[in-house]
Every structure is written in C-alpha cells, then in structure tokens.
Amino acid sequence: MRATLPMRLTRFAAALAVLFATPIAAAYAQTAVPQTREQVTYSYAPLVKQIAPAVVNVYAAREVPQRRSPFAGDPFFERFFGREFSGKPQRRQSQSLGSGVIVSADGLVITNNHVIENADEVKIALADGREYEAEIKLIDKKSDLAVLQFKPEGELPVVKLGDSESLEVGDLVLAIGNPFGVGQTVTSGIVSALARSQNGVNDFGFFIQTDASINPGNSGGALVAMNGNLIGINTAIYSRSGGSNGIGFAVPSNMVQVVLNSVRLGSSTLMRPWIGAQFQAVTAEIAESVGLDRPQGALVAGVFGGSPAEAAGLQLGDVILAIDGKAVPHVDALGYRLATAGLDRTASLTVLSRSTRSELTLKLAAAPEVPVRDTRLLRGRSPFAGLTVINLSPRTAQELEIPDRVRGVVVSKVDQRSPARRLGFRAGDVLLDINGRDVSSTKVMEDIASRRANGWRFAIEREGKVLRQFLR
C-alpha cells in the first residue's frame, strides 16, 4: 500500500528528529554565516611582522679562474681581438644567493654551509635594506650549517630558538626566505614528517620535513612554529624539476643550538662526541633475529679498544635504541643524537643486547688527537712530492670523515704543480704502506719519501676502497 502525503511528512519529521539528535547534526545545525570581521579574519600577519625582519639575504662571492684561450699567442686572433682576448687567464666572480636568520643581538646569523662555501666575500642584507659585510665564524659541512657575524648599528631583530624535539607531525609552520632572488617571501604548511634521512643532503640524517614551499634561495631561511620560535633552518628540497614539490627539509633548531654554542665558546669547528665504534642499519632480517618487532636503532658493527664504547660495555651485535630516552629511529639519526647530547658529560644508552634491554652509561668526550697532527710538506723527487700530510688520529679521522678503523697518514692538501697532483693524489687519501713498510706517522712518511728507490709500490685508501699502485 502506497503511503499517502501526510504519512510521508510524518516519517520525514521523525527522521529529522533522529538526525538532529546526533552530535554531528547538532554541530551542523549550529553553523551560521560569520557576522563580524573577527569571525572571518584568520591571518599569519602578526607572526610574520615579528619574525620577517630577522630573516636576511646572504650574498656570497668567490673568484673563479677562467680557462686560458686556446688562441693565446696566435698573431691573427691577437690582431683582431687584442691581446687581452688571448692573454693571461681572466678571473670572474661567481655569486650565490641564500637566506639567513639573526639569532643574537650581537649580530650572529645562522645559514647553510652550501650558501657560503668557498666564498671570498660574504655580505648580508637586512629586510629594511641595510647591508653589512659578514665574517664566517664557523662552518660545519656535515650538518650543512654555518655561522656568520656582522657588526650591527643599533638594535637588531632577533628570532628565538625553539625546541625542535617538541614538534609533532601536523604542526603548522611558516617558511621565510628569498626564493629565486625575488625578495622576502613567506609560505605556510605543516610538519610532514620528522627524523627524515637519505635525502641526498650529505650524511646528516635527521631532518624536519615540511610541505611549506621551499625553493632555491630559501636555503638558510627560517622555519618558524606558531609560537614565533625558530624550529629549523630550511636546507633542501626533494625535486626533479628544481622547484618546490611540497617536500622540503630543515635542520632542527636543536642542532642549530649546538653550532651556536661552539661559536660562543670560541671554536671555529663543531666538536662532536667520539665513542669509538662502527654502526650499521638494522634491516628487517636483523630486527627479526634480535627480537625487534620492526627495524629501528643502530647496530654495533665494531668496537675499538680503549674507546668510550668499550668502557661503556657495548658489544658487537648490540642495538642502540635510544640516547637519554630519545629514540634512535635509524642509524643515520645516531650522529644527530650524539651531537645534540653535548660534550663532557655522560649519556644513558638504551641497548638491546642478546634479546635483553639494558641501560648503559657512555662518556661523551671529544675525539683524542693521538698521535699529534704533525703536519709535513713532502719534497724531493718521489711520487709523493707536493703532498701535505698529517697523522691520522681519531680527531682528524672525525674531521675528515674517515672511518676510525683506518690507520696511516692522511693527505690534507696536494700542491697544484706537483708530481703528486699529476699522479692523481687527492686530499683525503690515506697512505697505508710504501714498499712494504707501514706508514705509521708523517715522520716515517717523510723518511720513506726522501730515499731513492728503483720503484714505488704503495697502497692508499680512498672512499673506503684500498688502491694499490706500482710506479718506476
């Protein structure tokens, strides 16, 4: 029997009564058209006005020699184009543009190392148009951070550093910088992920990921939380086109704080704790074998005798899960946790050893410089003439990012016009042995290189590979 119109209306009224009894329906029932400007306006403008004056443009200039013309000395070309066309190699100036953030009233500016790397001159421009020459106080390639300082006139706008450990995925953030050199620009987004690694930006493995638009020129700029604190330095983007694809990376502010502390202590380099151990990633197979429900932490792959790691009780096969209660999600994050833990103190390690979790105490100290550096320039007629070599200690190994297990003498510089340069030696090469004799020190190296020989049989380690050569 088909329902009549009154019956349909009765059923519809009953359905409405049930619908509006639910919380969702009640919420919809309470919505209304905004009646005032305050109800309509939602703006980041107050936050931008507070932070933007402290974000500066960074200009880096370097002299780049141009190649000598192949027509140098040709009378025909010199007649028509002049001798300056084919004479001595000309030098041109290469410039790069990035951003920076003023973090102290005495003119300290934090930026990226790749913005000012190899620069002969660095200038900064404030948002109000003032320009100053800046001095490079510290560079740290591993974290891609650099600290500049200029002498301000009057008071400076300053951004306060926040605690990047307090961030959560989904938090709102602003990115401020100078993309493509168009001028100061503000973009907004959220924290997309934390503890990101393996994004192609050297070996620093602990980035904040954001979808706020970051483009070339934003490097060194500010990533700001909604409370106005600096929580990251914009560093890189994931892109196949060169433009923003919504995946940007920033160095956490807690790492920035470590770099600034080093500058305030008068150091031009960032000293990291040395623990004397090797680590590798925990794969799914390794995680299952040690009793972990998922891959996490850093697997101990080697412990060196007399090291803090040995003193703490770390053993081959242990997995470090946390430092001072802060998780180590992957092996790349271990360096960040150690660097931000600081020096001259002890840290608590959460370790999984033989399927048992335990807490170990690790002493955090700077890498020892034993043997002493002892820099020497090799001369004479040997293939090694023109090499500047230094003794390889845990400290020099850490500075040059050479594995602790390597022993020998490391090349710090190669003279451009030397036999060593022509033979292909590079800075960072480690000389292991020559003519069957271990190269244990620069003194031994100098003694070997000064002797006459019918031939030279030697081994070097380069980028983890041992290369053996024989020269007559």
DSSP state string for 54-77: GEEEEEEEEEEEPPPPTTTT-HHH
Q: Please list, in sequence order, all residues whose beta carbon lies within 8 angstroms of the beta carbon of residue 267, skipping any fewer than 6 positions away.
A: 138
Distance from C-alpha of 80 to C-alpha of 68, rounded to nearest angstrom: 17
CA distances from 135 to 113, 123, 132, 239, 391 (A): 13, 9, 10, 32, 30
Residues annotated as catalytic (active site), given as ranges? 114, 144, 219
Mapped onto helix, strand or coil, the DSSP state of residue 195 is strand
Distance from C-alpha of 33 to C-alpha of 40, rounded to nearest angstrom: 9
Among the listed residues 256, 54, 51, the one whose alpha carbon sits nearest the alpha carbon of residue 174: 51
Distance from C-alpha of 423 to C-alpha of 372, rounded to nearest angstrom: 28
Distance from C-alpha of 211 to C-alpha of 193, rounded to nearest angstrom: 9
- 371 upstream amide cis, omega within 30 of 0: yes
Q: Please list, in sequence order, all residues whose beta carbon lies within 8 angstroms of the beta carbon of residue 12, skipping any fewer than 6 positions away.
A: none
Distance from C-alpha of 105 to C-alpha of 86, rounded to nearest angstrom: 50
Distance from C-alpha of 127 to C-alpha of 21, rounded to nearest angstrom: 55
Contact (Cβ atoms closer than 8 angstroms) between residue 132 and residue 222: no
Pairing verdict, β 319-323 and 298-303: antiparallel
